[in-house]
């Protein structure tokens, strides 16, 4: 039997100090980590509970942005008045995920860090998973591929990032505030999650013992024209086959600025600035939306079991943009 030590951190500095040992892991809501521990996938030696570390607040930032602390519950963020008013896209994305009970427990930091739902990763009965056991191979390459990546995958890994929230954060140009033994740093959300390459065991650029302290949302002019569209096999309580976070700044019928991020298609939320620029200064018609969708999906390499995702994503992007364009 493996002993696990448990400590409650008093503040962020204490959390970082407690997490400097090998095998230490932070615990927020525990809705992902405990499942993976019970499934014999994750084996932390020390759990650092950060729920009393003073990271549970939402604050206004100068200029109209918001700072959301790492242990703010997903449900509290989604229904917070300023989040709903300034970033309804984030609210929608969070509410499209999991269940009410899970969202009441899950934290912002934990959601950003949740691990893939690839069954070859989560089920140890499958022996080849480079993410779980680096160098062992990838059973998904010859297996069930419906939920897997069509963009940015590698021979080592075709898993996707399952987080809905992260897709909205990508479209909103969020910043992730980190604190580690070497001090503090800020990482743009687009650089936070990684593509798998030949080291798929690393989902993010977080260093061992580094803590997510908060997520900053810059001021946005896109609240009126944004939409999160999630397509899945069941109407609720299912992960995305494809999701789209679309946000627009409109000048009448003309697009002033556009942001589009895709979920369910890659190891990280998928954005491509060139696709967004195709919409800038244009009328938001079907032809222009299709051109942006084609650009965003450029280079897609579907697997035999998920070829349908390219067309699905193409249509989802067009639909999300049209709904966002209509506004609230
Ligand atoms: C049945 C089910 C259905 C779900 N459906 C969806 C869905 O449709 N869409 C969706 O997006 N999600 C879904 N989820 C996932 C859910 O959103 C995550 O489990 C949750 O967000 C994780 O948050 P947590 O606080 O519980 O994380 P934890 O389990 O506490 O932690 C997860 C990971 O994050 C690390 N961590 C936590 N906080 C920090 C921090 N501050 N800094 C650094 N590392 C940290 C932990 O060490 C651990 O590795 C589902 C989950 C379940 C169980």
pLDDT tens track for 202-216 = 999 999 999 999 999
Q: Which atom of ligand 1 is nearest to the CA of 50?
A: 41
Cβ proximity of 189 and 212 under 8 Å: no
- The residue to mutate among 34, 106, 116, 231, having the most atoms of ligand 1 within 8 angstroms of its beta carbon, is 106
Across the range 22-31, mean pLDDT stands at 97
What is the distance of C-alpha 243 from the center of its chain? 11
Distance from the alpha carbon of residue 108 to the mean position of ligand 1, in angstroms:
8
Residue 232 lies in a domain: yes
Give the integer Cα–Cα distance in Å for 27 and 7. 10
Residue 196 lies in a domain: no
Distance from the alpha carbon of residue 106 to the mean position of ligand 1, in angstroms:
6
Q: Which atom of ligand 1 is nearest to the CA of 240?
A: 8
**Which three-class secondary structure string do you get for 200-246?**
CCCCECCCCCCEEEEEEECCCCCHHHEEEEEECCCCCCCCCCEEEEE
The sheet with strand 46-49 has its strands ordered as 5-8, 46-49, 24-27
Read off the pLDDT of residues 52-102 as tens digits, 9 standing for 90 and up. Answer: 999 999 999 999 999 999 999 999 999 999 999 999 999 999 999 999 999
Distance from the alpha carbon of residue 291 to the mean position of ligand 1, in angstroms:
35
Across the range 190-203, mean pLDDT stands at 98
Distance from the alpha carbon of residue 248 to the mean position of ligand 1, in angstroms:
29
Q: What is the pLDDT of residue 242?
A: 98
| Closest alpha carbon to 162 in 274, 237, 51, 67 | 237
Distance from the alpha carbon of residue 49 to the mean position of ligand 1, in angstroms:
14
Q: Residue 328 pLDDT > 90, yes or no?
A: no
Q: Which residue minimizes the CA distance to atom 1 of ligand 1?
A: 98
Q: Which atom of ligand 1 is nearest to the CA of 33?
A: 29
Read off the pLDDT of residues 257-278 as tens digits, 9 standing for 90 and up. Answer: 999 999 999 999 999 999 999 9
pLDDT-derived band of residue 253, with 50, 70 and 90 as boundaries?
very high
Q: Cα separations (Å) of 55 from 50, 68, 73, 96?
A: 8, 8, 11, 24
pLDDT-derived band of residue 18, with 50, 70 and 90 as boundaries?
very high
| Closest alpha carbon to 240 in 168, 177, 156, 294 | 168
| Closest alpha carbon to 193 in 125, 268, 287, 298 | 268
Residue 249 belongs to what domain range? Answer: 226-326
Residue 52 lies in a domain: no
Non-local CB neighbours of 103 within 8 Å, separated by 6+ positions: 73, 74, 75, 78, 94, 95, 97
Question: What six digits make up the tokens of 119?
Answer: 């069954």
Across the range 197-201, mean pLDDT stands at 98
Across the range 117-122, mean pLDDT stands at 98
Q: Which atom of ligand 1 is nearest to the CA of 44?
A: 47
pLDDT-derived band of residue 108, with 50, 70 and 90 as boundaries?
very high
The SS3 call for residue 191 is helix
Q: What are phi and psi of 263, to 5 degrees?
A: -120, 165
Instruction: Provide the CATH number for the domain around residue 305.
Output: 3.30.390.50
Read off the pLDDT of residues 124-178 as tens digits, 9 standing for 90 and up. Answer: 999 999 999 999 999 999 999 999 999 999 999 999 999 999 999 999 999 999 9
**Total number of domains constituting the chain:** 1
- Please provide the DSSP assignment of 5-63 as one string: EEEE-SSHHHHHHHTTSTTEEEESS-TTHHHHHHTTS---SEEEE-TTSS---EEE-TT
| Closest alpha carbon to 143 in 308, 305, 310 | 305
Residue 293 lies in a domain: yes
| Closest alpha carbon to 149 in 164, 159, 138 | 159
- The residue to mutate among 18, 27, 163, having the most atoms of ligand 1 within 8 angstroms of its beta carbon, is 27
pLDDT-derived band of residue 2, with 50, 70 and 90 as boundaries?
confident
Q: Residue 1 pLDDT > 90, yes or no?
A: no
Q: What is the pLDDT of residue 273?
A: 98
Ligand 1 pocket, residues with Cβ under 6 angstroms: 25-33, 35, 50, 70, 74, 97-98, 102, 105-107, 109-111, 113-114, 162-165, 211-212, 239
Residue 247 lies in a domain: yes
Distance from the alpha carbon of residue 203 to the mean position of ligand 1, in angstroms:
13
Q: Cα separations (Å) of 81 from 24, 58, 182, 281?
A: 35, 11, 35, 32
Residue 74 lies in a domain: no
| Closest alpha carbon to 29 in 114, 90, 94 | 114
pLDDT-derived band of residue 236, with 50, 70 and 90 as boundaries?
confident
Residue 317 lies in a domain: yes
Considering the entire predicted model, what is its pTM? 0.98
As a whole number, the mean pLDDT across the chain is 97
Q: Which atom of ligand 1 is nearest to the CA of 164?
A: 11
Residue 51 lies in a domain: no
Across the range 277-302, mean pLDDT stands at 97
């Amino acid at each position: 039997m493996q002993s696990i030590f448990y400590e409650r951190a008093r503040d962020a500095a204490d959390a970082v100090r407690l997490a400097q040992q090998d095998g230490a892991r932070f615990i927020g809501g525990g809705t992902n980590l405990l499942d993976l521990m019970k499934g014999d996938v994750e084996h932390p030696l020390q759990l650092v509970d950060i729920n009393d570390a003073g990271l549970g607040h939402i604050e206004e930032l100068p200029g109209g942005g918001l700072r959301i602390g790492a242990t703010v519950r997903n449900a509290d963020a989604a229904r917070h008045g300023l989040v709903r008013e300034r970033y309804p896209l984030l609210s929608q994305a969070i509410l499209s995920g999991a269940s009410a009970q899970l969202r009441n427990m899950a934290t912002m930091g934990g959601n950003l860090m949740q691990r893939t739902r690839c069954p070859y990763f989560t089920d140890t009965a499958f022996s080849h998973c480079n993410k779980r056991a680096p160098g062992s191979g990838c059973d998904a390459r010859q297996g069930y591929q419906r939920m897997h990546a069509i963009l940015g995958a590698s021979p080592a890994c075709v898993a996707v990032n399952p987080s809905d929230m992260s897709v909205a954060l990508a479209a909103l140009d969020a910043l992730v505030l980190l604190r580690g033994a070497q001090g503090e740093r800020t990482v743009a959300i687009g650089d936070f999650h990684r593509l798998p390459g030949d080291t798929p065991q690393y989902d993010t650029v977080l260093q061992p013992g580094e803590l997510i302290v908060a997520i900053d949302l810059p001021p946005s002019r896109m609240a009126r024209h944004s939409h999160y569209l999630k397509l899945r096999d069941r109407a609720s309580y299912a992960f995305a086959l494809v999701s789209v976070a679309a946000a627009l700044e409109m000048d009448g019928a003309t697009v002033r600025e556009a942001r589009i991020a895709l979920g369910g298609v890659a190891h990280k939320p998928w954005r491509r600035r060139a696709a967004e620029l195709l919409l800038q200064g244009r009328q938001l018609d079907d032809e222009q939306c299709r051109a942006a969708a084609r650009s965003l999906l450029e280079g897609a390499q579907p697997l035999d079991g998920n070829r349908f995702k390219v067309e699905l994503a193409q249509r989802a992007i067009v639909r999300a943009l049209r709904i966002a364009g209509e506004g609230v």
